[in-house]
Amino acid sequence: MATAAELTDWDLRHFWHSFTQMSEYESMIIERAEGCWLVDVHGRRYLDGVSSLWCNLLGHRHPRIEAAVAEQLGRLPHATTLGMGNVPAVELSRRLAELAPGDLNRVFYASDGACAVEAALKIAFQYWLQCPQPRSGKTKYLAYDSAYHGDTLGSTAVGGIERFHALYRPLLFDVLRLPPPDARTGDAAFHLAKLEAILQQHHAEIAALVIEPLLQGAAGMVMQPPGYLRGVRELTKKYDVLLIADEIVTGFCRTGRMFACEHEGVTPDMLCLGKSITSGTLPLAATIATDEVYAAFLGDYTTGCTFHHGHTYAGNPMAAAAACATLDVIGDERVLEETVPRLTERLARALAPLQEHPHVGDIRQLGTIVGVELCADRATGALYPPQERHGYHVCKRATGQGVWLRPLGDVIVVMPPLSISDAELELLVSVLTQSIDAVCK
């Protein structure tokens, strides 16, 4: 078995990490985890304050989910879903269709959220070529500045975070854009007027609008005004534009409902899911389409209307078994009815003292999703120069004190597993506060 020193050497020599400037990377290698804790190869423990990038919904190594994966491993580790199904994926499809709003009944699997969005974009394009009243001119997409939908070329194109995507612009298709529907810059009517103006002018060429419901996650947990999502659905129907809801972050209880769309009674034409779907156990994602969208892909083989898209491990039986077990735990342990409301209140109470911190400009919370925004001066609202990377340094200092956090610029994300205890939450907020004090003094 490799030593910690050997692993560190190989990590630095060979492992190219995502979203990481490798010239300044300091090796951190996780060996095991349990509950809300990660343990590295040196035995150091870290409280997982961001659920391992917003995935680990129910805590690491939940025994029921592990047991489901182990049992499935003994039955069928993998089988293709091209032209065949497998028992866990079929069962999961039925359960997702029952949980999703409206007539979102048709489940198409992927391995991660970006690929779920990619599939939705291609489905929307093909739908307008094959629907009962085809409109071949509907080839563009409407999306938002500061949005994040993944890093494939299609999902990058509809993303709107300059520092992630500007370099690849020559490779991307053109997208019509709206400013972020930020509740701080206007109410629902204000932002919906902007949307209707662009739909009036361009609806004949727009295949779909892509939105993160209720909040823009990677933008810094930017909250939308109440009623905006409902208005978006009404306007997209009015102007005959498909609505793609990216719930890769907000899906599976985090916001206080199973899906964020439910808060405003919205049924999109496609719902993209990922991250928490297996509680961070195995890679899986899904694009759920309405019956109407699905029907446009049915026909004789010679018509060519098949959806020619799919990934090798999409619908993997072990991942599907983990997802089914995750749904079992959510139901049996009353996660949505009891755990989420309790944690939502505990988070708000624990973070309340930071509301008055001289270097905290805002705390944005939706259910168990929180963004703590740093600022140079609370009184004036002045922000730090981005190149000073205060968010990065706050999180680095917290890591040194045994709490793992990740920033979005100068917004610190707090999104722990739903299983976090009161004592663990107190530790998380205490270390966060101390780290802000030390870095922003």
DSSP-derived 3-state class of residue 126: helix
Are the C-beta atoms of residues 60 and 416 closer than 8 Å to each other? Answer: no
Strands 369-374 and 360-366: antiparallel
For residue 278, say whether it is annotated as part of any ligand binding site. no
For residue 140, say whether it is annotated as part of any ligand binding site. no
The closest alpha carbon to 180, from 218, 219, 141, 151, belongs to 219
For residue 246, say whether it is annotated as part of any ligand binding site. yes
For residue 141, say whether it is annotated as part of any ligand binding site. no
Contacts of 193 (CB under 8 A, 6+ apart): none
CA distances, 224 to each of 43, 202, 221, 379 (Å): 42, 23, 10, 24
DSSP-derived 3-state class of residue 369: strand
For residue 114, say whether it is annotated as part of any ligand binding site. yes
Burial of 1 (0-12, 13-18, 19+ CB in 10 A): exposed
State how far the Cα of 197 lies from the Cα of 358, in Å rounded to an integer. 40
Strands 369-374 and 411-414: antiparallel
C-alpha dihedral (220, 344, 186, 249), degrees to nearest 10: 40
Longest dimension (CA), the chain: 69
For residue 406, say whether it is annotated as part of any ligand binding site. yes
For residue 275, say whether it is annotated as part of any ligand binding site. yes
DSSP-derived 3-state class of residue 263: helix
State how far the Cα of 397 lies from the Cα of 439, in Å rounded to an integer. 8
State how far the Cα of 150 lies from the Cα of 300, in Å rounded to an integer. 34
DSSP 314: T
DSSP-derived 3-state class of residue 110: strand
Strands 206-211 and 176-178: unpaired
Q: What angle do CA 292, 195, 227 make, to 5 degrees?
A: 80
The closest alpha carbon to 247, from 238, 237, 257, belongs to 257
Both tokens of 301, joined, read: 């083989």
Are the C-beta atoms of residues 285 and 92 closer than 8 Å to each other? Answer: no
Q: Which residues does the annotation place in the binding site?
A: 113-114, 148, 246, 275, 310-312, 406
Q: Which residues does the annotation place in the binding site for substrate?
A: 148, 275, 310, 406
Q: Which residues does the annotation place in the binding site for pyridoxal 5'-phosphate?
A: 113-114, 246, 311-312
